[in-house]
Amino acid sequence: MGSAPSRSPCCPRGAYGPLANVSSKGLRGSYQEIGNGTLGYVVGGGEGVDKGIIMFSDIFGFDTGRHMQICDMLAERCGCVVICPDFFHSRAPQLDRPMRLNASTVLAMLTRMPRLIHVLRSTKWPGIRQDLDAAVAFLKARGVARAAGLGFCWGGYALWRASGEEDLAPGFLVCGASCHPSVHNCAGMSGDPLTPMEIVSRVRCPQLVLSSKGEPEDWWPGGAVEAAVRGLGDSATAAGSVFRVFEAREHGFVCRGDLDNAAVSQDVDAALEAVVDFFKDKLS
């Protein structure tokens, strides 16, 4: 299962590109209209389930890579309703059409770069917030009283932004986990009026940060981001946040890394296990 060599403009050098050869067979969720004209992948729930997880995808979109497989795993392991909205309103989902890595698909990815740049610059926080509000209302209508957020790459930016909203966190959004977050890149590229460190300083719920070697050391354990979070007046956020780095892994490894590589697969498992443990603790 290989990752294409074409990275997004918001990703660092060496990052995994779009993941090829991922089949949708065996997925337990479904695509649903969640409001605000937004499509989402939804899985889990049922009678008595009052916890949810909102996934913020990477820049390649909610129906690429292993996003949906991770949604399924989280729904089962955490006993939650999991929703991954299409924040980019990008395209109709193409089920059972795994992308094959060959000369034509690599060319297609390269020609897709201008659109990715456009997506980054045009997907601004007010629009993200509208889609997020639709996802929150969707979950609340199904009995969800509290939720965790999970962001990958670009989704880390959206998650940290959401975690600083007073009407969301910590009342509904009780914690967040970000894998190889791109807050430092995406805030500026999307024209956010807040700087990355201003976004960090506003966070209102505990965060799990799983960095790769591709993120600035500010995001590693002991870096400027952890120092800012530890210095917050909110003791639950300051004391309850966790920082970890996978120094051998490239940016994007959790949702796009090559699972045929045993070392990568082991670290993907370790990262997702950390997410599950963190969510179980904070959602209990």
Residue 174 near residue 51 (C-beta atoms within 8 A) = no
Q: Which among 86, 83, 84, 27 has a CA at the least distance from the CA of 51?
A: 83
What count of other Cβ atoms lies within 10 Å of the Cβ of residue 95?
12
pLDDT band with cut points at 50, 70 and 90 for residue 155: very high
Order the strands of the 173-179 sheet from edge to edge.
30-35, 38-43, 81-85, 51-56, 146-152, 173-179, 207-212, 242-246
Nearest 10 degrees: CA dihedral of 65, 70, 72, 74? -160
Residue 177: beta bridge partners? 150, 208
The alpha carbon of residue 244 and the mean position of all alpha carbons in its chain are separated, in whole angstroms, by 16
Among 113-122, 175-184, 189-198, 238-247, name the one with the lowest average pLDDT. Answer: 113-122
Output the average pLDDT for the chain: 88
**pLDDT value of position 91:** 44
The alpha carbon of residue 216 and the mean position of all alpha carbons in its chain are separated, in whole angstroms, by 18
Give the helix ranges, DSSP H, for the chain.
67-78, 103-122, 125-141, 154-162, 183-189, 196-201, 224-230, 235-240, 253-256, 262-283
Task: Quick: pLDDT tens for 11-28.
Answer: 777 778 777 657 788 999
Q: Which two tokens stand for residue 33?
A: 């209209």
Q: CA separation (Å) from 220 to 42, 154, 208?
A: 32, 17, 11
Predicted TM-score (pTM) of the model is 0.88
Domain architecture of the chain: domains with CATH: 30-283 (3.40.50.1820)
Q: Which two tokens stand for residue 136?
A: 């929150």
Residue with more model confidence, 6 or 213: 213
Q: Which among 243, 248, 251, 242 has a CA at the least distance from the CA of 267?
A: 248
The mean per-residue pLDDT over the stretch 23-34 comes to 90
Q: CA separation (Å) from 275 to 63, 87, 124, 172?
A: 20, 22, 27, 18
